[in-house]
Amino acid sequence: MTSRTRVLIGWAVVVAILLGGAYVIVARNGPTAGSEMPSVSAH
Amino acid sequence: MSSLHQFHHTARRSLASIVVTAAAITVNHLYSLGPRALLLGGVLVLLPTALLLWFRRTGNRVTLVGYAAVGAWIVVGFGLYKGLWLGVLRLFVGSGLAVVSTSFPKPTIGPYPFEASGILMFVGALFVAHFGFDFVRAALATTDSEPRSRAEGTEPSTHRGRYLGVAGALSAAGVVAAYTVAARDTFVPPANGVVTIGVIGPVTGPYAILGNSFVKALQMALDDLRGTRYRYTLRIEDSGPDPAKARSHVKKLVEDERVDAVIGAVSLIGQVTKPFATKASIPHLCICTVATIGDGAYNFTNIPSPEAEAVRWVAEARRRGIRTIAILQQDYPSINNHVKAMKTEAARQGLRIAYDNRYADSVMDFRAIIAEAKRVRADVYYTEALEPQLDVLAQQLADSGVTNIASVVAPSLSTKPWLFEGAWYTDSDLSDMAFKRRFEAKYPGTQFATHMMPYAYDSFNLIVRAYEQGVNPAVYLRTVRSYVGVAGTVTKKPGSGNFASAPTVWTITNGKPALLRDETVSRRAEGTDR
């Protein structure tokens, strides 16, 4: 396994953990309606 | 690898990372900008593409600076600020801190596509930074008379990865520490020792009865203060009945005048106030029934929940031998919540809904609806509406001979309560009837709306209590589990944004609201209780 492959796998794992963690948090605490969205503007 | 080959290779990777990140930015901003987010995404893709092509054709370094500037905008503005600080840190670190301590607010969580695209904005920005740096270095090498050795693809030193790892870990720790400090709500003594509490509610229009007595209850709470460390003032703002127009009033109060806390009335206005209070990190106590307004971070509701009203209402209905119900209700959020909860509880207890009519708030002639409802011969007519429809409906029910009326709250808001003579309804319990007598003596022309007054009074005192104890008021509200006020004992579960209290049954007797338990005692004393 080349170092480039290892780096790619590392990034994929990090992103998967972040997206999976976000899914769990949203499922537990997320909004039931779009009106609950945090409001942000283009800076 | 030649410097020209290196130039093209790094340019492709840099542009590809920008395009992918721009896609995440577009998805993320669909939630705040709507379709205009597509315009933003288009600019983020087309502008660097044009600058890159221009640079390739002319070698003009100004275009290279422009390209780097767009990259920096994506990295700093969207990746680090929105993606990392407002996205990843809020979602993961913010949620974790809120579990550990009430000094930290529960963050507002958006839908999954919003949160996921925020994460991808941050990750994508790291690639934009990395590939952009490589590209600029390669581009400079192609334009330099003496190409730099690193641009020729010199292998990095064996220590480079280790240094980057250590630097990355230290940076991450520093950023998390900074976020923790920034997210923590600490007590700030009020400027000049004066705490300004914003009061927002509709004191004009159809909610004027509620709004006016709500404001008066707060004024009474202020007048009742004795020997406090700080001075307290109320900044009263009429929101009007229209939520769309209320926004400017809330903004004025929270953002322009920077009040220290907000006490609001009516769910429709509470929904408008909620994001402003969150953004300003100030507590907002809403005397309203829509539970989702109370997020347990900065927003709290303080009034009996529709579910609590429903349990009490159905228990009373069963006690009276009621088996079937006809519903005549106005279409309004808090009324809809009352009816929904009542239907659920009625079904659970085996009561049948024989007739169900939710009419628009423009309806003023109920005679056809009443005639239709009468045909099902229900045991009780559940009626709930706001003024002016409420009294019109009551009059038309009386005219058609309907007297078996029950409700949640509504008769206490009527300007002509005698139209509901004999009706029973659930409403806030008033453990201290002296409070009502004091209110009516102090404000003889103001109707006492039982539903909100004691909670408005107690909510003011909760904020005062926080300041007097030197505790951030939002943290105090998150921490408090119960309090005893004029509304009796009110409790709150850990993490909840809803103060819970038990309603009781009232009747309209001799044209006025009276507690059923007092009436029962009175009838027993007279020997007329059945």
**In chain A, which residues have their Cβ closer than 8 Å to the Cβ of B109?**
25-26, 29-31, 36
Q: What is the pLDDT of residues B401-457, one digit of tens each?
A: 998 999 999 998 888 889 999 999 999 888 778 888 888 898 887 878 888 888 999
Full DSSP string of B394-426: HHHHHHTT---EEEESGGGG-S-GGGGTT-EEE
To probe the interface with A, which of B115, B130, B290 has the most A CB atoms within 10 Å? B115
Q: In this complex, is the C-beta atom of A36 within 8 Å of any C-beta atom belonging to chain B?
A: yes
B530 pLDDT above the threshold of 60: no
Nearest to A22 among B32, B81, B116 (CB): B116
Query: pLDDT at residue B295 above 70?
Result: yes
B123 with A31: Cβ contact below 8 A: no
When mean pLDDT is compared across B33-37, B392-396, B445-449, B526-530, the lowest value belongs to B526-530
Q: Which residues of A touch B275 (CB under 8 A)?
A: 38-39
Cα–Cα distance list, A24 to A33, B91, B116, B158, B318 (Å): 17, 11, 11, 39, 42
- Judged by average pLDDT, the poorest of B89-98, B136-145, B258-267, B469-478 is B136-145
Of B82, B91, B115, Cβ closest to residue A40: B82
Angle at the Cα of A13 from the Cα atoms of B41 and A31, rounded to 5 degrees:
55
pLDDT at position B168, please? 87
ipTM confidence = 0.80
Of A11, A31, A41, the CB nearest to B111: A31
> Could you report the per-residue pLDDT of B135-153, keeping only the tens digit for each?
999 988 877 654 444 444 4
Half-sphere exposure of B123 (CA within 13 A, CB side): 21
| Inter-residue contact B316 to B347 (CB < 8 Å) | no
Within 8 A by CB and 6+ apart from B436, the residues are B430, B448, B450, B453
B110 touches chain A (CB under 8 A): yes
Query: Which of A8, A39, A41 to mutate to probe the B interface, most B CBs <10 Å?
Result: A39
Residue B34 is predicted with a pLDDT of: 94
- pLDDT at residue number A37: 40
Tens digit of pLDDT for each residue in B336-353? 889 999 999 999 999 999
Total count of residues recorded for chain B: 530
> What is the per-residue DSSP string for B279-330?
HHT--EEEESS-GGG--SSSEEEES--HHHHHHHHHHHHHHTT--EEEEEEE
Residue of A nearest to B271 (CA): A35
Average pLDDT over residues B487-506: 91
Please state which of the ranges A19-33, B28-42, B329-343, B416-430 shows the lowest mean pLDDT: A19-33
Nearest-CA distance B111 → chain A (Å): 6
Chain-chain contact of B111 with A37 (C-beta, under 8 angstroms): yes
Contact B92 A43 (CB under 8 A): no
| A13: closest CA of chain B, how far (Å) | 12
Give dist(CA B446, CA B262) in Å, integer: 23
Q: How many inter-chain contacts (A to B, CB under 8 Å) are there? A: 78
- Average pLDDT over chain B reads 90
Distance between CA B126 and CA B130 in Å, rounded? 6
Asked if the C-beta of A7 comes within 8 angstroms of chain B's C-beta atoms, the answer is no
For the entire predicted model, the pTM comes to 0.80
Question: Using the 8-state DSSP alphabet, how is residue A34 labeled?
Answer: G
Would the CB atoms of A25 and B92 count as touching at under 8 Å?
Answer: yes
In the structure encoding, which two tokens stand for residue B462, read together? 């909760």
- With an 8 Å Cβ cutoff, are B110 and A30 in contact? yes
In this structure, how many other beta carbons lie within 10 angstroms of the beta carbon of residue B81?
A: 17
* φ/ψ bin of B142: left (φ > 0), alpha (ψ from -120 to 50), beta (otherwise): alpha
SS3 of residue B78 by DSSP: helix
